[in-house]
A and B are shown apart, each in its own frame.
Chain A
Amino acid sequence: MNLEFKKSIAWMRENLFSSIPSSILTVATSFFVLGFFRGLFGFAMASDKDWLSVLNNMQLYMVQAYPEEDFIRVWISVGLALVFAGMSIGLWKSTEESSLSEVFSKFLRVSLAFLFFTVVAPTFSSVTDNDGIIQTEESFPMETRLQLLIPSAILVVVFFVLKNLKLNYKFNKSDLLCFYLAIPIVLMWIIKLPTIQLDSSNQRIFPDPLMPIADTTKTPWTIIFGLFLAFYFIGSRFKDSKNIKRTMSISWVLLPLFIFSWIFKKPEIDLPTILGQDIPIFIGIFLIGALTITFINNPVVEKYFSIYLGVLIAITGIALFISVPILLKSALLLLVLFTIVIPAVSSSTKGKRNLIIVWGVSLFTLSVLIRGGSSDTQIIVQQQSIFGGFSLTWLLAIFGTYVSFPLGVLLALGRNSKLPIVRLVCTGIIELTRSVPYITWLFFASVTMAVFLPEGVNFELVVRVLMVTAFFSGAYFAENIRGGLQSIPKGQYEAADAIGMSPFQKTSLIVMPQALRAIIPTLVSSAITAFKDSSLVTIIGLIDFLTIGKVIIGTQSIPVNFVGHDRENLLFIAFFYWIFTFTLSRRSMKVEKRLGLGER
């Protein structure tokens, strides 16, 4: 204990107070940081803040007007994502372990932070009264501080002792993660929160009584956590199976699409359309693809393959702009993409069989998703879209990244292409999209796009916004990826050529993996930007997470009056966005570490 104390003194002398300028810097910075925290606490605890305006509107924040009788769908969506997460954590179970004393040192750090904040929190905060005079009021009285201080001090001591017992029981890091996640679930059953209660004449009763968290919130979370644990154990059972891992990765990609097009949306399914339209299209397109795969090595087919491909591209191009079922359009598009790669991948009989299976499964998945996505929803909301609040932000962020990333890869490759037309078109798309502000594109989606679409095609506003978002962030992704492509030494291309790789193999096996690896930080920052930029949709009348807090809650007078409580909501929103972006950037740093980036 004494040694550790000396160690920390030595560390401080070496790192914080090594010279006079460094000491001054240390003191000044800690002064600023402290002042910032004190200001933030003072702001949050002042008596004119009503934090219940945040808590009471959680439902509005998350799903806006999604009807309560269909909430099971929201829970299923969240549950599926967490079940997948549990399964993945199990499958890719960490081999690292930490000892019990390391766990206690983590707890010690948390309780130390809590103790620190309790100590530095200001007793007084300033409130401007109606005459415009700044008053100070006691917002954090000594009794409250002591009530918090004593338990946290006890916790600090307990954890400090426990940590220094040097208990050496080892725990798996993934097991520990599940344990940490259990803490908020348990807390949910223990803590009580102030709740708004109205009397018979709809007047709010003060003070707000402390009530346990509603069963409709904690029960689903508990069930989901139980499933999470169950799938974690299932996953860890199968952690050696490569096939399950691969299926899991693909499922992750498909999960949000499935959630948004089927679970959350509750599409109206019309059996005659499926039988009379979807199934024939599926069978027809599937057969074309399967036949091409089977006979690709036939000399006659080989001879006319490029013409066949050209005709296919032409048909697809035309089909995109005439009034045919959207499933046909997208299936043709997929067929073209598949046909381009067929000569490169299918040579052996086994390879062909596998490719046919992959082709069938992906076409089927596409058909299912398109059916759900293009059908009308059965959910009845009194507003334009069933997406609102966080569900809209999430939709825009996920789809923005999902669609724009592959698009960005294609555009970047196209811009580096040797074919002048492809290069010209790709450069044109990139430059046109990038040179116009995002807000202008949003207005284009909202007002102008209807004129450009063919007759009978009328997308929902959200879909139109998704389209322009995909192109907009796609253009940025493309330029990032192009930067990555340029970082690949010429020798890599030449080496791939030397061993006789086809252009497709060269790109997918040699160039792209290296290019993407080099630009992970830029890609993540693009994704973060896309996530935050989604709040701009508010100007065309879509209500995202930010708009709920900024506009809607600040004007509520019925049933509870929250007029003017916009600042605490803005603070909450900032915190919420920060959690997501921070998690994302931490995860990406871990990925970078694993890939050994920056060690070249």
Chain B
Amino acid sequence: MSKKAIVSLLILSMIAVACATEEAVEEVAVEEEHDHSDESTLDEVIERGFLKCGISTGATGFSEQADDGSFGGFDVDFCYAVAAAVFGDYSKVEFKQLTSAERFTSLAAGEVDVLFRNTTWTQSRDTELGNDFGPTTYFDGQQLLGRKADGITESSTLADIDGLRVCTNAGTTTEKNITEGAGLAGATIELVTVEAFAEAVDKFIAGECDIITTDGSALVGRRAVNDALNDWVIFPTSPISKEPLGPTYRSNDSEWADVVNWTVYATIIADEYGVTSANVDSVDTDALPELGRLFGANDGELQTKMGLSADAFYNVIKQVGNYDQIYSRNLNPLGLFREGGANDRWTNGGLIYAPPAR
């Protein structure tokens, strides 16, 4: 009798639990929908008190973690810049180190507010995956790296790698690009895929592959580190693919998109005027009205209408620096320079260009 009683009670309790969970799940679903449609990410971020920024687990010069646990790099600095714009304090940011496999899931699930994770802006990512892309902060392109000893020169093309072993990391666009490109150039290659770029370099050094290929910035960095400026060649001069890297956020949230975009633009405009974190306090805002508007010297209504404080972009420049400072601090030590490249100012023939602050 007693056992039967327990069993029936157990069944009853399970039914009750099942009902309770079902209800709870429904409520969660409703709640989530509510979250995403009505509230802008900007309000969420302000309410939370800090920014959640998705960065790479490790990309030399772009997102690094130093030996004391602090973060630095080109992408990281833009996270700091957004935090400085929203809170007036660059340190109010929580980094989430994401692998390339989970970056978009993480963004869609709301675990990060914005991705600065050297992510290439492509059509499918923009349209199918529910992301929107901000202004490109770094114009990269896929290139190849070979040895002079193997007869590779800077004028080599994809046709010259016929019969060579090419190493690249698996599952990225680089793999697709090189297969496509080599096929078009009529070169038969033996593709060796590895999990991480560092492994590809190790294989290249050990002689297990003749060519490695990935974004040009990474190749230049590795060549400088290995002290191989005279032995290793990066080719072709114009990259085999376009890799515009910039911020990514959830689509249909233009209020938040504006904040991220104009933070990037503010660093570019400041660079155009030569305003750095060192001289931002001595800027004559009467003589330079655009900077006056941008830094909120008068009433700063351009910023307050965005939901930011009037001096939001002043804080960005003061605390983080302008585009040139961010670039040279992180990428110059790796041998990546702006001069003459795509990342130069538009006035010097580069592509770094910002709409006017009016």
Residues of A at the B interface (CB closer than 8 Å) are 56-57, 59-60, 63-68, 128-134, 306-307, 309-311, 313-314, 317-318, 320-323, 381-384, 388, 419, 421, 446-447, 450-455, 538-541, 543, 547, 550-552, 554-561, 563-564, 566-567
Contact = CB atoms under 8 A, between A and B. Distances in A.
Contacts of B226: 130, 564
A317 B16 contact: yes
B231 A130 contact: yes
Interface string B21-49: 10011011101000000000000000000
Contacts of B149: 131-133
A551 B91 contact: no
Given A60-B65, A130-B232, A310-B9, A543 B29 contact: no
Contacts of A384: 94-96
A476 B21 CA distance: 27
Residue from A57, A382, A454 with most neighbouring chain B CB atoms (10 Å): A382
B340 interface: no
Nearest to B329: A558
Nearest to B61: A557
Contact of A564 (B14, B222, B231): B222
B3 A419 contact: yes
A8 to B, nearest CB: 43
A463 to B, nearest CB: 15
A453 B28 CA distance: 8
B170 to A, nearest CB: 14
Given A132-B147, A381-B69, A557-B60, A321 B27 contact: no
A552 B96 contact: no
Given A130-B226, A132-B150, A318-B16, 5 more contacts: A131-B147, A382-B71, A538-B99, A555-B64, A564-B225
B21 A321 contact: yes
Nearest to A132: B207
Contact of B101 (A60, A64, A381, A539): A539
A318 B70 CA distance: 44
Given A382-B93, A566-B198, A455 B16 contact: no
Interface in B63-77: 64-73
B60 A555 contact: yes
A317 B13 contact: yes
> How many residues of B sit at the interface, in one of the four size bands?
35 or more
A450 to B, nearest CB: 7
A388 B71 CA distance: 14
Nearest to B16: A318
A211 B20 CA distance: 64
B354 interface: no
A497 B156 CA distance: 86
Contacts of A56: 67
Contacts of B2: 306-307
27 contacts: A65-B69, A128-B205, A131-B149, A131-B231, A134-B207, A313-B6, A313-B9, A313-B10, A318-B13, A318-B20, A321-B17, A321-B21, A382-B93, A419-B3, A450-B28, A451-B29, A452-B25, A454-B24, A455-B27, A455-B31, A541-B57, A541-B99, A551-B57, A551-B196, A555-B58, A563-B222, A564-B201
Interface stretch (B102-110, B130-138, B248-256, B261-269): B102-110
B194 to A, nearest CB: 12
A59 B9 contact: no
Interface in B202-230: 202, 205-207, 221-222, 225-228
Nearest to A60: B67
A310 B10 contact: yes
Given A60-B67, A551-B58, A131 B9 contact: no
Nearest to A422: B10
B12 interface: yes
A64 B201 CA distance: 26
Interface in B163-203: 196, 198, 201-202
A295 B285 CA distance: 83
Contact of B12 (A133, A314, A382): A314
Contacts of B16: 314, 317-318
B236 to A, nearest CB: 21
Nearest to A567: B202
B231 A563 contact: no
Closest 6 CB pairs of A and B: A65-B69, A310-B9, A314-B13, A454-B24, A555-B58, A130-B231
Nearest to B24: A454
Contacts of A455: 24, 27-28, 31
B24 A321 contact: yes
A132 B98 CA distance: 34
Contacts of B96: 383-384, 541
Question: Which of A63, A421, A560: most chain B CB closer than 10 A?
Answer: A421
Contacts of A59: 67-69
A65 B57 contact: no
A552 B58 contact: yes
Nearest to A56: B67
B5 A128 contact: no
B59 interface: yes
Nearest to B27: A455
Contacts of B27: 454-455
B84 interface: no
Contacts of A563: 60, 221-222, 225
Contacts of A547: 57
B274 interface: no
Given A318-B17, A382-B94, A551-B196, A556 B65 contact: yes
Interface string B305-336: 00000000000000000000000001001100
Contacts of B70: 65, 382
Contacts of B148: 131
Contacts of B9: 307, 310-311, 313-314
A558 B330 contact: yes
B7 interface: yes
B333 A557 contact: yes
A321 B20 contact: yes
B11 interface: yes
Contacts of A554: 58, 198
B153 interface: no
A561 B225 contact: yes
Contacts of B206: 128
Contacts of A447: 105, 109
Nearest to A317: B13
A419 B31 CA distance: 40
B277 interface: no
B231 A306 contact: no
A238 B61 CA distance: 58
A541 B28 contact: no
B157 interface: no
A555 B69 contact: no
